[in-house]
Structure 1
Amino acid sequence: MTPTFPELSDRARDVFRLVVQSYLESGTPVGSKTIAQVSGLNLSPASIRGVMQDLEEAGLLAAPHTSAGRMPTQTGLRLFVDGMMHAVAPSEQERAAIHAGARAGGPVEEAIAATTAALSGLSACAGLVLVPRREPVLRQFGFVPLGPNRALAVLVGDDGSVENRVIELPGDVPPVALEAAANFLNARAAGATLSDIRQRIGREIAAERAALDGAARTLVERGIAVLSEDGARRPVLIVRGQANLIDPAAAADLDRVRGLLDELEGKEEIMRLLDSARDGPAARIFIGSENKLFALSGSSVIAQPVRAIDGQVVGVVGVIGPTRLNYARVVPMVDFTAATLARLLA
């Protein structure tokens, strides 16, 4: 059974902490001579080797090759992160770089992307941000018949974005109803968002002020409902710094890195993983195979919810990198980025 932090002796804790810290800094297995030189523990290399052997037998360290030193196992990294890590607050320069990204001009999405890129560069990881899809100001609605019981609802945003959704209809709807529904929506679309129009039309229909027949009213209600609900279900995932996942230590394992990049490209699994961190009070750390997505890629994710002043979660920010990333430095950096994005998204 793997020991817990309190069950380790003082000597074992000290050696274990130094091995992990040295490994996270260098990315290579750590030998007893290295620990003896930097530790100040007044222990001989032979004594340190004995402690390291005990830690290996406890499942906290592993020796990848004979006489190549030790490195923490995934279990060891978890023990270190949960019980031994001393967080290091971002420096003034790091905070300034993250703030600079948030102050980038242009649409909010560009500022979010710039902030994510800053986090990626500072952490030497890929930066990830999951935020709700922002509703565009609308320019035009349209309905295109697809058959007896289906139509395509088309929404064009003021920024040129286009959303298309298929809606099911109760029976055959005549072309005149499609045109009437589109004209009705377009008369109310200028300068409004979809949620604005939904509330406005809902009040009109409830008060029976909407000059629509039954078929056109069905088109309006279903078209807006489908577009609104689908948009809410599809948050935006911004990824920056994928190149940071390819480093000299990973060069010998390109298949693993290629698989990880494919997962990032697909986005769906990453989005689900980040979304699972929404309800946590602070950063969640997924190490290696603790999440099935990274069972083969040997990667870790640090993810933290972005909370507005009222406590509502408005997004999730995080990084993905090798399991040997500097958790003590990166976790507070993700926390600071979350606070910065909370102000940006307020």
Structure 2
Amino acid sequence: MSTTPICEMTDRARDVFRLVVEGYLDSGLPVGSRTISKLPGVNLSPASIRNVMQDLEELGLLSHPHTSAGRVPTEGGLRLFVDGMMQASMPSPAEKAAIEGRLERGGPIEEALAAATATLSGLSACAGIVLVPKREPVMRQFGFVPLSPHQALAVMVGQDGSVENRVIELPRGVTASALVEAGNYVSARFSGLTLAEALARVDSEIRADEAALDRASQELVARGLAVWSRDGTERPVLIVRGQANLLDNDAAADLERVRQLLDELEGKEEIARLLDSARAGHGMKIFIGSENKLFALSGSSVIAAPYRGHEGKVVGVVGVIGPTRLNYARVVPMVDFTAQALSRLMA
């Protein structure tokens, strides 16, 4: 059912709708007409409020979970509230200090990102998530270790001391001595370059017939660098912190939903693809329930914002995952502030 625009709702309908949503987000329980009638500033009888609620239910903005219960917002209702009625509450000085303080401790960037995610998780009472920028390691040394007549291990030592390896298929005609020669060639010629830069240089030298290697060794070097490069771009790094926050007191009444959400959090590649859409959009993204197929079964919400690196380029995404009953007014600005803090760190 399509959602009615706010401008087409009467003032009375907007007020009742806002109070129902805010009451539900605060308590997690259906909100009844009598509860609303007792709120300060409300000059409507329970019967009048029930009539308005019924109209809002027919518009697809509220639902009636039980015969004798009050109303709760539908996913469409939550979307309408978040997009057009929510009054955002900026993070407090203490919350800002907690986020920035974790980023100022130094150390590898992954540790800072994980720390910021854990802090965001604690402050929002959700699971914190961050998509780490895909790093292009800079080579210091490169070598090949034979595994069998048909396979070898390509080993790269980075400028930061990191060591990584990948298994590659050997071209025909490559001997053990050719493996050593090819590794020495790469280390001598391309130390200080990223894998992508080294691959481009190899391609250029081969085309210009300037590579001091035979054809089999040329193919070996090109294949090793190319396989490594593809592997690095196809495996985004996702950090998830604070899953235990999802097991709060309210979860006891909806254990199946929480179990489903925890199962979904195990699919990190799927989540990474979801967050990539936030990176592509260059702005805050809010997915509510079934708006996103990944979390449709658990009925969860995702709030994510991109953060930037050098020259303002988007390099990653930070956010939270939790139930649709989130304090959006508080959590959305908090995610945005964390993204801004990460951007300052990465610049």
Give 1:72's aligned residue: 73
User: How is 1:1-346 mapped onto 2 (pairs within 5 angstroms)?
Assistant: 2-136=3-137, 138=139, 140-145=141-146, 150-157=151-158, 161-187=162-188, 194=195, 197-198=198-199, 210-308=211-309, 310-346=311-347
TM-superposed CA distance for 1:216, in Å, is 2.1
Mean CA deviation greater in 258-267 or 203-212: 203-212
TM-superposed CA distance for 1:194, in Å, is 3.9
Contact 2:89 2:330 in 1 (8 A): yes
Mean CA deviation greater in 189-198 or 44-53: 189-198
Q: Which runs of 5+ in 1 are unaligned?
A: none
Which secondary structure state, in structure 2, belongs to the residue aligned with residue 227 of structure 1?
Answer: helix
Deviations 1:81-135 (A, max 9, x none): 1111121111111111110111122111111111111111111111111122334
Amino acid at match of 2:116: T
Which secondary structure state, in structure 1, belongs to the residue aligned with residue 240 of structure 2?
Answer: strand
Note closer, same or farther for the CA distance 1:309–1:25 as it changes in structure 2 (3 Å cut).
farther
Contact 2:179 2:217 in 1 (8 A): yes
Amino acid at match of 2:33: S
TM-superposed CA distance for 1:189, in Å, is 7.4
Mean CA deviation greater in 241-250 or 227-236: 227-236
Structure 2 distance, partners of 1:82, 1:63, is 23
Structure 2 distance, partners of 1:240, 1:16, is 34
Contact 1:97 1:118 in 2 (8 A): yes
Mean CA deviation greater in 120-129 or 203-212: 203-212
Which secondary structure state, in structure 1, belongs to the residue aligned with residue 153 of structure 2?
Answer: strand
Deviations 1:138-177 (A, max 9, x none): 5653323455554332334466754332334442322221
Contact 1:148 1:171 in 2 (8 A): no
Structure 1 distance, partners of 2:191, 2:200, is 15
TM-superposed CA distance for 1:315, in Å, is 0.7
Deviations 1:183-216 (A, max 9, x none): 2234467776545655676676677665322222
Structure 2 distance, partners of 1:217, 1:17, is 67
Structure 1 distance, partners of 2:187, 2:275, is 37
Contact 1:288 1:294 in 2 (8 A): yes
Structure 1 distance, partners of 2:29, 2:6, is 24
Note closer, same or farther for the CA distance 1:164–1:262 as it changes in structure 2 (3 Å cut).
farther
Deviations 1:24-44 (A, max 9, x none): 111111111221122412111
C-alpha RMSD over aligned residues: 2.4
Structure 1 distance, partners of 2:276, 2:54, is 40
Q: Which runs of 5+ in 2 are unaligned?
A: none
Amino acid at match of 2:303: I
TM-superposed CA distance for 1:273, in Å, is 0.5
Structure 2 distance, partners of 1:168, 1:46, is 76
Mean CA deviation greater in 150-159 or 94-103: 150-159
Structure 2 distance, partners of 1:30, 1:342, is 40
Contact 1:104 1:110 in 2 (8 A): no
Structure 2 distance, partners of 1:136, 1:309, is 16
Which secondary structure state, in structure 2, belongs to the residue aligned with residue 277 of structure 1?
Answer: helix
Structure 1 distance, partners of 2:80, 2:176, is 66
Matched length: 346
Structure 2 distance, partners of 1:199, 1:108, is 27
Amino acid at match of 1:342: S
Structure 2 distance, partners of 1:51, 1:309, is 52
Structure 2 distance, partners of 1:311, 1:77, is 32
With structure 2 as the length reference, what TM-score do the two structures score? Answer: 0.90
